[in-house]
Amino acid sequence: MQHLRGKFLVVDGPEGSGKSTQTELLHRRLLANHVDVRLIRDPGSTRIGEQIRQILLNPEHHEMNMRCEMLLYMASRAQMMQEHILPALAAGQLVLCDRFVSSTLAYQLGGDGLSAADIRAVGDIAIKHRWPDLTLLFDLPVELSSARVRPKFTLFPDDPDAGVEKDRIEQRPLDYHEKVRQNYLAQAKADPAHFRVLDASRDPATIHAELWSVLESLR
Protein backbone atom coordinates (compact mmCIF):
# COMPACT_ATOMS: atom_id res chain seq x y z
CA MET A 1 0.00 0.00 0.00
CA GLN A 2 2.96 2.34 -0.44
CA HIS A 3 1.10 4.10 -3.25
CA LEU A 4 -0.98 5.76 -0.48
CA ARG A 5 1.97 7.79 0.80
CA GLY A 6 1.14 11.50 0.78
CA LYS A 7 -2.51 10.95 -0.16
CA PHE A 8 -5.35 12.90 1.43
CA LEU A 9 -8.54 10.84 1.81
CA VAL A 10 -11.86 11.99 3.26
CA VAL A 11 -14.73 9.81 4.48
CA ASP A 12 -18.01 11.71 4.48
CA GLY A 13 -21.76 11.28 4.61
CA PRO A 14 -24.83 11.99 6.72
CA GLU A 15 -25.29 11.19 10.39
CA GLY A 16 -26.15 7.55 10.90
CA SER A 17 -24.42 6.37 7.71
CA GLY A 18 -21.74 4.46 9.62
CA LYS A 19 -18.89 6.51 8.18
CA SER A 20 -17.12 7.09 11.52
CA THR A 21 -17.24 3.37 12.36
CA GLN A 22 -15.90 2.46 8.94
CA THR A 23 -13.21 5.13 9.18
CA GLU A 24 -11.98 3.61 12.44
CA LEU A 25 -12.01 0.09 10.98
CA LEU A 26 -10.08 1.31 7.96
CA HIS A 27 -7.58 3.10 10.18
CA ARG A 28 -6.91 -0.08 12.17
CA ARG A 29 -6.41 -2.16 9.03
CA LEU A 30 -4.05 0.40 7.51
CA LEU A 31 -1.94 0.34 10.67
CA ALA A 32 -1.95 -3.45 10.64
CA ASN A 33 -0.62 -3.28 7.07
CA HIS A 34 2.17 -0.92 8.17
CA VAL A 35 0.73 2.14 6.44
CA ASP A 36 1.86 5.40 8.04
CA VAL A 37 -1.54 7.04 8.49
CA ARG A 38 -2.79 10.12 10.33
CA LEU A 39 -6.44 9.98 11.46
CA ILE A 40 -8.27 13.32 11.68
CA ARG A 41 -11.82 14.28 12.64
CA ASP A 42 -13.44 17.43 11.29
CA PRO A 43 -14.24 19.64 13.08
CA GLY A 44 -11.72 19.04 15.83
CA SER A 45 -8.34 17.30 16.12
CA THR A 46 -6.68 20.41 17.57
CA ARG A 47 -7.16 22.21 20.88
CA ILE A 48 -8.82 25.13 19.12
CA GLY A 49 -10.77 22.89 16.76
CA GLU A 50 -12.27 20.87 19.59
CA GLN A 51 -13.53 24.05 21.24
CA ILE A 52 -15.07 25.16 17.96
CA ARG A 53 -16.70 21.71 17.64
CA GLN A 54 -18.40 22.15 21.01
CA ILE A 55 -19.74 25.55 19.95
CA LEU A 56 -21.03 24.21 16.63
CA LEU A 57 -22.82 21.16 18.02
CA ASN A 58 -24.18 22.63 21.26
CA PRO A 59 -28.02 22.54 21.02
CA GLU A 60 -28.19 25.72 23.12
CA HIS A 61 -26.75 27.75 20.22
CA HIS A 62 -30.04 27.80 18.32
CA GLU A 63 -29.54 31.40 17.17
CA MET A 64 -26.44 30.59 15.10
CA ASN A 65 -27.02 31.40 11.42
CA MET A 66 -25.63 29.40 8.51
CA ARG A 67 -22.99 31.97 7.56
CA CYS A 68 -21.55 31.94 11.08
CA GLU A 69 -21.78 28.15 11.11
CA MET A 70 -19.89 27.86 7.82
CA LEU A 71 -17.12 30.20 8.97
CA LEU A 72 -16.64 28.33 12.24
CA TYR A 73 -16.21 25.04 10.39
CA MET A 74 -13.65 26.68 8.10
CA ALA A 75 -11.79 28.17 11.07
CA SER A 76 -11.45 24.72 12.60
CA ARG A 77 -10.13 23.39 9.28
CA ALA A 78 -7.59 26.19 8.97
CA GLN A 79 -6.08 25.18 12.32
CA MET A 80 -6.27 21.48 11.49
CA MET A 81 -4.50 22.00 8.16
CA GLN A 82 -1.72 23.97 9.83
CA GLU A 83 -1.18 21.61 12.76
CA HIS A 84 -1.84 18.20 11.26
CA ILE A 85 -2.79 17.68 7.63
CA LEU A 86 -0.14 19.64 5.73
CA PRO A 87 2.76 18.43 7.95
CA ALA A 88 1.54 14.83 7.65
CA LEU A 89 1.28 15.01 3.87
CA ALA A 90 4.72 16.62 3.65
CA ALA A 91 6.10 13.72 5.69
CA GLY A 92 4.60 11.20 3.28
CA GLN A 93 1.81 10.04 5.56
CA LEU A 94 -1.63 9.01 4.41
CA VAL A 95 -4.20 11.41 5.90
CA LEU A 96 -7.61 9.88 6.64
CA CYS A 97 -10.14 12.55 7.57
CA ASP A 98 -13.66 12.01 8.95
CA ARG A 99 -15.59 14.83 7.18
CA PHE A 100 -14.21 17.89 5.39
CA VAL A 101 -15.35 20.77 3.15
CA SER A 102 -17.69 18.35 1.36
CA SER A 103 -19.76 18.36 4.58
CA THR A 104 -20.13 22.13 4.47
CA LEU A 105 -21.15 21.92 0.80
CA ALA A 106 -23.89 19.55 1.93
CA TYR A 107 -25.05 20.99 5.27
CA GLN A 108 -24.64 24.75 4.86
CA LEU A 109 -25.27 25.16 1.12
CA GLY A 110 -28.17 27.55 0.51
CA GLY A 111 -28.42 28.68 4.12
CA ASP A 112 -28.42 32.47 4.50
CA GLY A 113 -27.96 32.69 0.73
CA LEU A 114 -24.67 30.76 0.69
CA SER A 115 -23.72 29.41 -2.73
CA ALA A 116 -21.32 26.59 -3.56
CA ALA A 117 -18.95 29.20 -4.97
CA ASP A 118 -19.01 31.12 -1.66
CA ILE A 119 -18.24 28.00 0.34
CA ARG A 120 -15.48 26.82 -2.00
CA ALA A 121 -13.83 30.25 -2.01
CA VAL A 122 -13.69 30.42 1.79
CA GLY A 123 -12.71 26.77 1.98
CA ASP A 124 -9.84 27.25 -0.46
CA ILE A 125 -8.38 29.94 1.81
CA ALA A 126 -8.89 27.87 4.98
CA ILE A 127 -7.23 24.73 3.60
CA LYS A 128 -4.43 26.52 1.74
CA HIS A 129 -5.64 25.16 -1.61
CA ARG A 130 -5.00 21.51 -0.61
CA TRP A 131 -8.17 19.66 -1.54
CA PRO A 132 -8.61 15.90 -0.91
CA ASP A 133 -7.34 13.40 -3.44
CA LEU A 134 -10.48 11.33 -2.94
CA THR A 135 -13.70 11.59 -0.93
CA LEU A 136 -15.42 8.33 0.02
CA LEU A 137 -19.09 9.23 0.28
CA PHE A 138 -21.44 7.06 2.32
CA ASP A 139 -24.97 7.30 0.91
CA LEU A 140 -28.08 6.26 2.80
CA PRO A 141 -31.78 7.18 2.45
CA VAL A 142 -32.68 9.77 5.04
CA GLU A 143 -35.31 7.54 6.69
CA LEU A 144 -32.62 4.95 7.43
CA SER A 145 -29.92 7.39 8.47
CA SER A 146 -32.23 9.27 10.84
CA ALA A 147 -33.40 6.02 12.43
CA ARG A 148 -29.78 5.11 13.19
CA VAL A 149 -28.91 8.41 14.90
CA ARG A 150 -28.68 8.10 18.66
CA PRO A 151 -28.53 11.12 21.02
CA LYS A 152 -24.93 11.80 21.99
CA PHE A 153 -24.28 15.48 22.62
CA THR A 154 -22.48 16.44 25.79
CA LEU A 155 -20.02 19.21 26.62
CA PHE A 156 -18.10 16.86 28.89
CA PRO A 157 -17.22 13.24 27.95
CA ASP A 158 -17.68 12.01 31.54
CA ASP A 159 -21.04 13.75 31.97
CA PRO A 160 -23.56 11.23 33.44
CA ASP A 161 -26.16 12.68 31.05
CA ALA A 162 -24.02 11.91 27.98
CA GLY A 163 -26.04 10.44 25.16
CA VAL A 164 -29.39 11.93 26.13
CA GLU A 165 -29.60 14.75 23.59
CA LYS A 166 -29.07 15.03 19.84
CA ASP A 167 -26.59 17.68 18.75
CA ARG A 168 -27.65 20.93 17.09
CA ILE A 169 -27.32 19.58 13.54
CA GLU A 170 -29.00 16.24 14.25
CA GLN A 171 -32.06 18.03 15.64
CA ARG A 172 -32.93 19.58 12.26
CA PRO A 173 -36.01 18.23 10.43
CA LEU A 174 -36.05 15.35 7.93
CA ASP A 175 -36.56 17.59 4.92
CA TYR A 176 -33.33 19.40 5.80
CA HIS A 177 -31.44 16.10 5.99
CA GLU A 178 -32.93 14.99 2.65
CA LYS A 179 -31.55 18.17 1.10
CA VAL A 180 -28.17 17.39 2.68
CA ARG A 181 -28.19 13.96 1.05
CA GLN A 182 -28.98 15.42 -2.36
CA ASN A 183 -26.22 18.02 -1.93
CA TYR A 184 -23.73 15.22 -1.24
CA LEU A 185 -24.81 13.25 -4.30
CA ALA A 186 -24.64 16.37 -6.47
CA GLN A 187 -20.99 16.87 -5.48
CA ALA A 188 -20.14 13.30 -6.44
CA LYS A 189 -21.95 13.58 -9.75
CA ALA A 190 -20.17 16.85 -10.61
CA ASP A 191 -16.70 15.50 -9.75
CA PRO A 192 -16.59 11.71 -10.27
CA ALA A 193 -12.78 11.69 -10.44
CA HIS A 194 -12.54 12.77 -6.79
CA PHE A 195 -15.56 11.00 -5.27
CA ARG A 196 -16.63 7.39 -4.75
CA VAL A 197 -20.20 6.78 -3.60
CA LEU A 198 -20.74 3.74 -1.37
CA ASP A 199 -24.11 2.21 -0.52
CA ALA A 200 -24.17 2.50 3.27
CA SER A 201 -27.28 0.33 3.66
CA ARG A 202 -25.24 -2.86 3.27
CA ASP A 203 -23.64 -4.90 6.04
CA PRO A 204 -20.44 -3.46 7.58
CA ALA A 205 -18.16 -6.24 6.30
CA THR A 206 -19.24 -5.68 2.69
CA ILE A 207 -18.73 -1.93 2.98
CA HIS A 208 -15.29 -2.39 4.52
CA ALA A 209 -14.28 -4.76 1.73
CA GLU A 210 -15.28 -2.19 -0.89
CA LEU A 211 -13.39 0.57 0.95
CA TRP A 212 -10.25 -1.54 0.99
CA SER A 213 -10.63 -2.36 -2.69
CA VAL A 214 -10.91 1.35 -3.54
CA LEU A 215 -7.72 2.09 -1.61
CA GLU A 216 -5.86 -0.77 -3.28
CA SER A 217 -6.75 0.61 -6.73
CA LEU A 218 -6.06 4.27 -5.92
CA ARG A 219 -3.25 5.83 -7.92
Q: What is the pTM of this model?
A: 0.88
How far does CA 88 lie from the centroid of its chain? Answer: 18
- Per DSSP bridges, beta strands 195-199 and 8-12 are unpaired
Pick one of 3.40.50.720, 3.30.365.10, 3.40.50.300, 3.40.1160.10 as the CATH number of 2-217. Answer: 3.40.50.300
Domain boundaries, the chain: 2-217
What pLDDT, in 10s, does the model give residues 7-37? 999 999 998 888 889 999 999 999 999 999 9
Higher-confidence residue: 23 or 164? Answer: 23
What pLDDT, in 10s, does the model give residues 85-140? 999 999 999 999 999 999 999 999 988 899 999 999 999 999 999 999 999 999 99
What pLDDT, in 10s, does the model give residues 154-163? 555 555 555 5
CA 168/CA 59 separation, integer angstroms: 4
